Structure 1
């Protein structure tokens, strides 16, 4: 009986080691593909939020890594791309985190003109509930387009909330937490542009960190 238990334990240990090795190998083999897909997605989104008509210099040539948990929702440095035309900044594409989504962090990228008017917002990654919170994705719902052309007067602008809280943005039936988190995150990005525009150009260059 004891010998049988030892054999079973050894078999389980070998099986666990093999499974771990397979997972590690799979991760290594697919990591490059995942990175390429993320880069391709980022390029598509940048083209939507800062189209070529907004700049005559490469966006990646004007990319800085900004660290500001207060406005960007993350302790990690996040990229900010500046659209430059005729030597002048025309707008920004700013990555930010909504840390209070229903299922955790929601990574956004916010396109905003230098005058504080939004070109648009896109969701890069999230873990929100399918059929409810995932309506923040453009392919699931046009809700995210409601930010287009919006601006904010100052930090006391009460319109920057979901309608349940007296604001101008629709919530989702059964999933108010998700749109509330996105609206709050975009509002903070607009405050960053209004109050600390110097951070968008004076931070360290992106380099190979993307």
Structure 2
């Protein structure tokens, strides 16, 4: 009887040890994977800022501001030239109304509010349909598919079905509406934050402050 108890106890201890080791390994792998993903996202974010803003020398300190409708804060990245003059502001914006849910976009504005560029950071839209927003809204060959160079304060950035001047992605009106919603949200917050006093330029080599959602 004593032998059976000893064997049972050994089995339990062995199972506990195996479970503990497995949990430790899984935790370590998760930590390493998350770190790699975070680094990749930060790199993509910084590349997006470079791609969508006019040429600049330095980025100023970023700041967050909640949109007018509440919800999660947007993140602003001001850019300066060598004379310390503001040349544009990149805004990390979003919509939760995409066909696949959350859409994250980096959009750039010149100081006068004109859109200088955009880059989709994250989405779960249908491949070949909603995913076309990566390039659909900067098609210089078609006015109805190009938001670059437009000022959301004067241009009606809604899909034509809603009375706007932007052609929706074929068979992806929901995605198009969500995309344009995120742009309008960024512009309104950009205008509201126009009086925000930045902390001045920081070294371009410094990691851009992350955040958002």
* Contact 1:79/1:94 (8 A) holds in 2: yes
Q: 1:29 aligns with which of 29, 32, 39?
A: 32
1:150 aligns with 2:150: yes
Distance 2:52 2:76 in 1: 12
Distance 2:137 2:191 in 1: 22
1:81 maps to: 77
2:8 maps to: none
Q: How many Å apart are 1:107 and its aligned residue? A: 0.8
TM-score by length of 1: 0.73
Distance 1:170 1:20 in 2: 51
1:112 aligns with 2:74: no
Q: Which has the larger radius of gyration?
A: 2
1:198 maps to: 195
TM-score by length of 2: 0.72
Q: How many Å apart are 1:129 and its aligned residue? A: 1.8
The verdict on how the C-alpha distance between 1:16 and 1:135 changes in structure 2, with shifts beyond 3 A counting, is farther
Q: How many Å apart are 1:89 and its aligned residue? A: 1.2
Q: How many Å apart are 1:123 and its aligned residue? A: 0.9
2:166 maps to: 169
1:125 aligns with 2:122: yes
The verdict on how the C-alpha distance between 1:119 and 1:107 changes in structure 2, with shifts beyond 3 A counting, is same
1:40 aligns with 2:43: yes
Distance 1:87 1:131 in 2: 42
2:65 maps to: 67
Q: How many residues align?
A: 184
Give deviations 1:165-199, integer Å, cap 9, x for gaps: 12121212322111111112211222233344124
Give deviations 1:20-70, integer Å, cap 9, x for gaps: 666533321212221221122122211111243xx23x21xx132213132
Distance 2:159 2:193 in 1: 25
Query: Does 1 or 2 have the higher relative contact order (CA < 8 Å, sep 6+)?
Result: 2
- After TM superposition, what 4+ stretches of structure 1 lie above 4 angstroms from structure 2? 13-23
Q: What's the C-alpha RMSD, in Å, of the aligned pairs? A: 3.1
Structure 2, gaps ≥5 residues long: 1-11, 139-145
Q: How many Å apart are 1:131 and its aligned residue? A: 2.2
The verdict on how the C-alpha distance between 1:208 and 1:174 changes in structure 2, with shifts beyond 3 A counting, is closer
The verdict on how the C-alpha distance between 1:196 and 1:40 changes in structure 2, with shifts beyond 3 A counting, is closer
Distance 1:22 1:28 in 2: 10
Structure 1, gaps ≥5 residues long: 1-9
